[in-house]
C-alpha cells in the first residue's frame, strides 16, 4: 500500500517552534511527536492512504481547541480534525506538515433532556452510546451507520453519516439541532439552536457532511426519537436479482416506507452466511431484508401487505423473523457483510455510489459485465430503499497491477452512477478517495462555488486542505489523463 | 398545465443586473411579500419558469421548476397517493414551489415529519455571477460537495435564484383522525411534549382556544389503537381546521395587533408575555398576538433559549428576524458574497446588511 510523503519543503525551525508553542497550551501527554505515537493516526478507515502527521494534539476543553486553532492560524499551519478514525474516504488523512487535532478526549454525554427529546454531546461520544444512554427514557438516536459501535457523533456530523434506516429516519443532517464549532481563527460559533429552526442561513445543513473543511465540531445537540413499539424484519429470497429490485419499487409504490430495506447479491449472501450464520438461503441470487417498525397494529398490517407484494414479485421464499433474536440475526448477516467479504478475498474496494432505484437493473448488469472484463469478482450490498449501492470489488493488492485495475473499475462504476442521475458518494464522503470523481459530478463553476463557500469559513484555507473539493488544476489534469490513458497512474499522489 | 423553461431569460436578466449594478427583487407568486424586511429592486419574475420536470412515484422524488404553482404540485402528488410531507403553507392562491423553499415554510406536520429543508434533495440555481449551477441531486443520499441546496432553504432568495428543486415526497397516510380535548395551555404543553417519547402515530399537535388538537395518521389499525390509547373526542372532517391553521385563516391570525412567531423548546411552560397564544408543532412553534414591545418579547424568549420573528403587522424595516451574534453575522456576510458577490439578490430581505 502506498505511504504518502509530502513533497513540501521541510522547515524544521518552524516545526519546532509550533511544537514548542503547542506544549505551552497543552499538558505534555497531549502533544504527540514520536513516530510510534503518531502511527495510530496515520490513516482512517481507508487504510490504503497513510501519512504521518507532523504532530498530534489531544485537547480536552473547547478553550484548548480555540488556542490550538489560533496558534495554527497565526503560524499558517494546516489542521486536520479527527474523531474515531472510522471514516471510509480518507477524510482524516493527516498532513505531514500539519497538526492532527484529535477530539478523542471529548467523550462526555453532557445532557439528555427527555422532555424535549434532545441530547447534548461532546463530539467524541460514540454513536451507539447515545442510544444506549437514551434508552432509559424510551428514546434513541436514529442514524445508525454500520460502524456505530466505534464511530463518534462529531465524525457523523462531518460526514453526514447514514445507516440502514435512512429512508424513513433520514441522515445525520435530519437528526441534529445545534452545533458548537471552532473556526480556523479560533472563533467559537453556535450554529442552529435547541429549537427546531434558527434565524439566518441554514449553516447546520452546510456543516453536515462538510468533511472537516469548514470548522471543528466541539459540541453536538441531537434529536432523539421515541423507540418504536415494535420492529419486525422480513427476509425474501429471489432467483433473480432484478426481481428483487422490482420488489423494492413495488413495496414503495404500495405506500409503505420500511424502516430498512436492504438487498444483497449471491456473492455477498454466501460470504455473510459463512461468516455470521444468519440462516440466509445460500442458493438465492438475491435477498431482501425489509424491516417494518411503528405501532404494533401498524407493523402487523404492513407485514401482511409486504409479504403479499414479495410473493407477487416472484420471491421464492419469504420469512418473518419469529422473535427478536432472529431479527438481530438477520441483521447481523447484513451488518457484517463487509468483514465477511474481507474473509473471502485478500482485499476489497468498497464503492458508495447512489442511483435512482429504477436504474438498479441497468447498473447491476453493467457492473457484472465489467466484473468479467476485469476478472475481478464483485459482491453487491445495496441500501435498496434509498438507492445507495455498495459494490465491493474483490482483489489482491499483492498481485501486480490489481489495485490499479480495481481503482479503474471503481471509477467506471462511479462515473456510471453519475450518468444515470446519481452521485459518487451516498454516505462515505469524498475525502481523499473520491476527489477526482468530484470532477465528473460537478462542473468547474460548481467546484469554484464550493471553494468560495469554504473560504467564507476558512479564508486562509488551512482546515483539512486538499480534501473533499478538488482544485480546478487537479480536475484539468485528471480530465486530460482520463481521456488519454483511461486510467490514472499513481492515484495516491496529490496533484496541485 | 403550462410548462415553460425560461432559465436563459432569467440568466440574461441577472447578467444585466450585474453589469448595471441593479438590485433584483425575486418574485414568484408574490404571496409571501409580507414576510421579512421590505426590499426594493427590479422585479425578477420567476413565475413563468414552471412545470414538473420529473415525478416517478416509485422513486419518492419530484423535480419541478421553481415557478410551478404549489397547488399544481400537490395535485400531481395527490393523484399518485403522495404528498409534500412538510405540509407547506401557501399564504395565497399563486404560491410557487420556489417561494415556499426560499422562505423555508412548513406546516403543522413539521415537528413530527420534518421541515421543508429536510425534504430538499437538490436544486439548480443562478448565482450572483449569473452562472447556472446544480447542487445535490435526485437521490435520497448524496454527500458529494457542500449541501448548498439546503442552504437555499430559508435564505429568502438572498443567495441565488432557484430554478429547479428536487424534493423527497412521501405516501399519504392511509387514515387520519383528529382528537380534541379541552385543556389549559400548560396542560396542552405537557400532553404534547409527552408524545415525543411515546411511540404513537401523531403527525400534528396544536393548542388553540382552550383545546388541544392531536392529528393521528397512519394505517387504519394504527390510528384506531392510538386513539384508544390517547383518548379524546374525534372531530369529524378535521381537514378544514388543519388547513385554516396552516394558512393562518383561523380568526386568531386576523387580529389587528402584531403577530409574532416564537421558536422554543416544546416542553417549555407557558411564557408570561401578555397576549393571545396559539401553539403549533407540539409546542415548538408558538404564535403570539401582542402589543408588548418586540425588545421585551425577545428578551423574555432569549432567556429560555428561543428566538422571535416579527411575522405580521410590524415595521417593515425593523429587525424582523432575530438578530445574529456578530461572529455568526460575519460568516453570513461572507457566504452572501461568495454566492452573490455583487449583492444583487433580495438585498436586505433578512438583515439590513445582507
Residues of chain B with pLDDT under 50: none
Residues in chain B within 8 Å Cβ distance of A162 = 141
Instruction: Select the residue from A163, A172, A195, A303 to test the B interface by mutation, using most B Cβ atoms within 10 A.
Output: A195
**With 70 as the cut, is the pLDDT of residue A8 above it?**
no
A·B CB contacts under 8 A: 265
Q: Is the reported ipTM for this assembly greater than 0.95? A: yes
Alpha-carbon distances of A393 from A270, A388, A408, B13, rounded to whole Å: 15, 16, 11, 49
> Which pLDDT does position A10 carry in this prediction?
60
**pLDDT category, A489, cuts 50, 70, 90?**
very low
> Which pLDDT does position B236 carry in this prediction?
85
CB atoms within 10 A of CB A81: 27
Contact A199/B171, CB-based, under 8 Å? Answer: no
Encode pLDDT of A302-347 as tens digits: 999 999 999 999 999 999 999 999 999 999 999 888 889 989 999 9
**With 70 as the cut, is the pLDDT of residue A492 above it?**
no
CB atoms within 10 A of CB B272: 6
Contact A201/B151, CB-based, under 8 Å? Answer: yes
Contact B327/A193, CB-based, under 8 Å? Answer: no
Q: Residue window 35-94, chain A: list those with CB within 8 Å of chain B.
A: none
Contact B328/A434, CB-based, under 8 Å? Answer: no
Q: Across residues A186-215, what is the average pLDDT?
A: 98
pLDDT averaged over chain A?
93
Contact B284/A195, CB-based, under 8 Å? Answer: yes
**What number of residues does chain A have?**
496
CA B61 to chain centre: 19
Contact B139/A425, CB-based, under 8 Å? Answer: no
CB atoms within 10 A of CB B34: 12
Three-state SS at A413: helix
**With 50 as the cut, is the pLDDT of residue A488 above it?**
no
**With 90 as the cut, is the pLDDT of residue A484 above it?**
no
Percent pLDDT > 70 in chain A is 95
**With 90 as the cut, is the pLDDT of residue A273 above it?**
yes
**Separation between Cα atoms, residue A181 and residue A186, nearest integer Å:** 9
The distance of A53 to chain B (nearest Cα, Å) reads: 25
Residues in chain A within 8 Å Cβ distance of B216 = none
The answer for residues whose C-beta is within 8 angstroms of residue A116's C-beta and 6 or more apart is A194, B193, B196, B265, B266, B267
**pLDDT category, A12, cuts 50, 70, 90?**
confident
Cβ atoms of B285 and B111 within 8 Å: the answer is: yes
> Which pLDDT does position A7 carry in this prediction?
44
**pLDDT category, A3, cuts 50, 70, 90?**
very low
Cβ atoms of A52 and A96 within 8 Å: the answer is: yes
> Which pLDDT does position B314 carry in this prediction?
86
Cβ atoms of B22 and B41 within 8 Å: the answer is: yes
Alpha-carbon distances of A190 from A193, A392, A465, rounded to whole Å: 8, 39, 23
A453: nearest CB among B58, B146, B263: B146
Instruction: Select the residue from B142, B223, B284 to test the A interface by mutation, using most A Cβ atoms within 10 A.
Output: B142
Residues in chain A within 8 Å Cβ distance of B218 = 294-295, 298
B338: nearest CB among A159, A445, A455: A455
- Locate cell 440568466: which residue? B11
Closest chain A CA to residue B310:
A199
B16 near A CB under 8 A:
no
Cβ atoms of A214 and A302 within 8 Å: the answer is: no
Beta bridge partners of A264: A287, A381
The distance of A36 to chain B (nearest Cα, Å) reads: 34
> Which pLDDT does position A308 carry in this prediction?
97
The distance of A110 to chain B (nearest Cα, Å) reads: 17
> Which pLDDT does position B146 carry in this prediction?
98
E-only strand ranges, B137-226: 161-168, 170-171, 175-182, 202-208, 211-218
DSSP state letters, A63-122: HHHHHHHHHHHHHT--EEEESSS--SSSTT---TTSEEEE-TT---EEEEETTTTEEEE-
Query: Of A69, A64, A227, A224, whose CA–CA distance to A153 is shortest?
Result: A224
Encode pLDDT of A53-98 as tens digits: 999 999 999 999 999 999 999 999 999 999 999 999 999 999 999 9
**With 80 as the cut, is the pLDDT of residue A496 above it?**
no
B139: nearest CB among A197, A354, A434: A354
> Which pLDDT does position A493 carry in this prediction?
40
**With 60 as the cut, is the pLDDT of residue A482 above it?**
no
> Which pLDDT does position A485 carry in this prediction?
39
Q: Residue window 212-241, chain B: list those with CB within 8 Å of chain A.
A: 218-222, 224-226
Residues in chain B within 8 Å Cβ distance of A438 = 144-145
Span between the terminal Cα atoms of chain B, in Å: 36
B263: nearest CB among A115, A195, A257: A195
**With 90 as the cut, is the pLDDT of residue A48 above it?**
no
Cβ atoms of A296 and A284 within 8 Å: the answer is: no
Percent pLDDT > 90 in chain A is 88
**Separation between Cα atoms, residue A426 and residue B140, nearest integer Å:** 8
Amino acid at each position: 500500500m502506498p505511504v504518502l510523503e509530502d513533497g513540501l519543503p521541510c522547515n524544521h525551525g518552524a516545526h519546532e517552534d509550533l511544537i514548542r508553542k503547542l506544549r505551552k497550551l497543552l499538558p505534555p501527554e497531549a502533544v504527540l511527536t514520536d513516530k510510534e505515537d503518531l502511527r495510530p493516526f496515520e490513516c482512517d478507515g481507508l487504510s490504503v492512504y497513510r501519512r504521518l502527521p507532523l504532530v498530534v494534539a489531544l485537547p480536552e476543553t473547547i478553550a484548548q481547541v480555540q488556542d490550538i486553532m489560533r496558534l495554527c492560524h497565526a503560524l499558517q499551519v494546516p489542521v486536520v480534525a479527527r474523531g474515531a478514525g472510522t471514516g471510509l474516504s480518507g477524510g482524516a488523512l493527516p498532513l505531514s506538515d500539519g497538526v492532527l487535532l484529535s477530539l478523542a478526549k471529548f467523550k462526555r454525554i453532557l445532557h439528555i433532556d427527555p422532555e424535549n427529546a434532545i441530547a447534548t454531546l461532546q463530539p467524541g461520544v460514540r454513536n451507539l452510546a447515545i442510544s444506549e444512554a437514551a434508552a432509559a427514557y424510551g428514546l434513541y438516536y436514529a442514524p445508525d451507520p454500520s460502524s456505530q459501535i466505534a464511530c463518534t457523533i462529531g465524525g457523523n456530523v462531518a460526514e453526514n453519516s447514514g445507516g440502514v434506516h435512512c429512508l424513513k429516519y433520514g441522515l445525520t443532517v435530519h437528526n441534529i439541532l445545534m452545533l458548537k464549532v471552532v473556526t480556523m481563527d479560533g472563533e467559537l460559533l453556535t450554529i442552529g439552536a435547541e429549537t427546531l429552526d434558527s434565524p439566518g442561513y441554514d449553516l447546520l445543513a452546510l456543516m453536515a457532511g462538510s468533511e472537516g473543511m469548514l470548522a471543528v465540531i466541539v459540541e453536538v445537540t441531537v434529536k432523539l426519537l421515541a423507540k418504536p413499539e415494535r420492529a419486525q424484519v422480513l427476509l425474501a429470497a429471489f432467483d433473480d436479482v432484478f426481481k428483487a429490485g422490482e420488489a423494492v419499487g413495488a413495496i414503495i409504490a404500495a405506500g409503505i416506507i420500511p424502516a430498512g430495506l436492504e438487498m444483497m447479491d449471491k456473492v455477498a449472501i454466501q460470504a455473510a452466511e459463512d461468516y455470521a450464520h444468519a440462516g440466509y438461503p445460500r442458493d438465492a441470487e438475491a435477498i431482501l431484508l425489509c424491516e417494518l417498525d411503528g405501532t404494533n397494529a401498524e407493523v402487523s398490517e404492513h407485514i401482511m401487505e409486504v409479504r403479499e407484494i414479495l410473493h407477487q414479485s416472484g420471491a421464492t421464499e419469504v420469512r418473518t423473523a419469529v422473535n427478536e433474536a432472529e431479527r438481530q440475526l438477520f441483521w447481523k448477516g447484513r451488518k457484517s457483510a463487509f468483514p465477511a467479504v474481507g474473509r473471502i478475498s485478500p482485499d476489497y474496494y468498497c464503492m458508495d455510489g447512489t442511483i435512482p432505484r429504477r436504474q438498479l437493473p441497468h447498473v447491476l448488469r453493467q457492473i457484472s459485465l465489467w466484473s468479467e472484463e476485469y476478472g475481478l469478482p464483485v459482491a453487491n450490498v445495496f441500501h435498496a430503499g434509498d438507492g445507495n449501492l455498495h459494490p465491493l470489488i474483490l482483489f489482491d493488492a499483492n498481485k501486480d497491477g490489481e489495485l490499479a485495475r480495481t481503482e479503474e473499475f471503481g471509477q467506471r462504476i462511479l462515473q456510471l452512477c453519475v450518468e444515470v442521475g446519481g452521485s459518487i458518494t451516498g454516505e462515505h464522503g469524498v475525502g481523499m478517495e473520491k476527489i477526482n470523481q468530484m470532477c465528473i459530478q460537478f462542473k468547474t463553476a460548481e467546484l469554484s462555488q464550493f471553494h468560495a463557500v469554504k473560504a467564507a469559513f476558512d479564508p486562509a484555507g488551512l482546515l483539512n486542505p486538499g480534501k473533499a473539493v478538488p482544485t480546478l488544476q487537479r480536475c484539468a489534469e485528471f480530465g486530460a489523463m482520463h481521456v488519454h490513458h483511461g486510467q490514472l497512474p499513481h492515484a495516491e499522489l496529490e496533484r496541485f | 398545465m403550462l410548462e415553460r423553461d425560461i432559465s436563459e431569460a432569467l440568466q440574461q436578466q441577472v447578467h444585466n443586473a450585474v453589469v448595471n449594478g441593479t438590485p433584483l427583487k425575486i418574485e414568484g407568486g408574490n404571496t409571501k411579500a409580507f414576510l421579512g424586511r421590505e426590499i426594493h429592486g427590479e422585479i425578477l419574475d420567476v413565475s413563468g419558469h414552471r412545470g414538473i420536470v420529473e415525478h416517478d412515484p416509485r422513486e419518492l422524488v419530484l423535480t419541478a421548476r421553481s415557478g410551478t404553482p404549489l397547488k399544481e404540485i400537490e395535485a400531481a402528488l395527490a393523484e399518485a397517493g403522495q404528498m409534500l410531507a412538510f405540509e407547506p403553507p401557501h399564504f395565497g392562491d399563486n404560491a410557487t414551489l420556489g417561494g415556499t423553499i426560499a422562505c423555508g415554510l412548513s406546516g403543522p406536520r413539521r415537528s413530527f415529519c420534518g421541515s421543508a429543508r429536510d425534504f430538499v434533495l437538490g436544486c439548480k440555481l443562478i448565482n450572483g455571477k449569473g452562472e447556472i449551477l446544480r447542487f445535490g441531486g435526485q437521490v435520497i443520499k448524496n454527500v458529494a460537495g457542500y449541501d448548498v441546496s439546503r442552504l437555499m432553504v430559508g435564505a429568502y432568495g438572498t443567495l441565488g435564484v432557484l430554478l429547479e428543486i428536487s424534493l423527497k415526497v412521501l405516501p399519504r397516510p392511509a387514515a387520519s383522525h383528529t382528537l380534541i380535548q379541552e385543556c389549559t395551555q400548560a396542560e396542552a404543553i405537557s400532553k404534547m411534549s409527552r408524545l415525543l417519547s411515546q411511540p404513537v402515530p401523531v403527525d400534528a399537535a396544536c393548542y388553540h382556544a382552550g383545546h388541544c388538537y392531536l392529528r393521528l395518521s397512519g394505517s387504519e389499525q394504527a390510528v384506531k389503537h392510538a386513539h384508544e390509547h390517547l383518548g379524546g373526542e374525534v372531530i369529524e372532517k378535521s381537514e378544514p381546521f388543519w388547513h385554516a391553521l396552516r394558512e393562518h385563516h383561523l380568526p386568531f391570525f386576523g387580529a389587528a395587533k402584531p403577530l409574532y412567531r416564537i421558536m422554543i423548546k416544546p416542553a417549555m411552560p407557558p411564557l408570561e408575555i401578555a397576549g393571545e397564544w396559539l401553539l403549533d408543532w407540539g409546542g415548538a412553534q408558538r404564535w403570539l398576538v401582542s402589543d408588548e414591545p418586540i425588545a421585551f418579547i425577545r428578551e423574555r424568549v432569549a432567556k429560555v433559549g428561543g428566538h422571535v420573528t416579527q411575522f405580521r403587522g410590524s415595521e417593515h424595516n425593523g429587525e424582523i428576524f432575530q438578530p445574529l451574534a456578530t461572529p455568526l453575522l460575519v460568516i453570513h456576510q461572507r457566504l452572501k458574497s461568495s454566492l452573490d458577490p455583487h449583492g444583487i439578490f433580495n438585498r436586505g430581505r433578512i438583515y439590513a446588511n445582507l
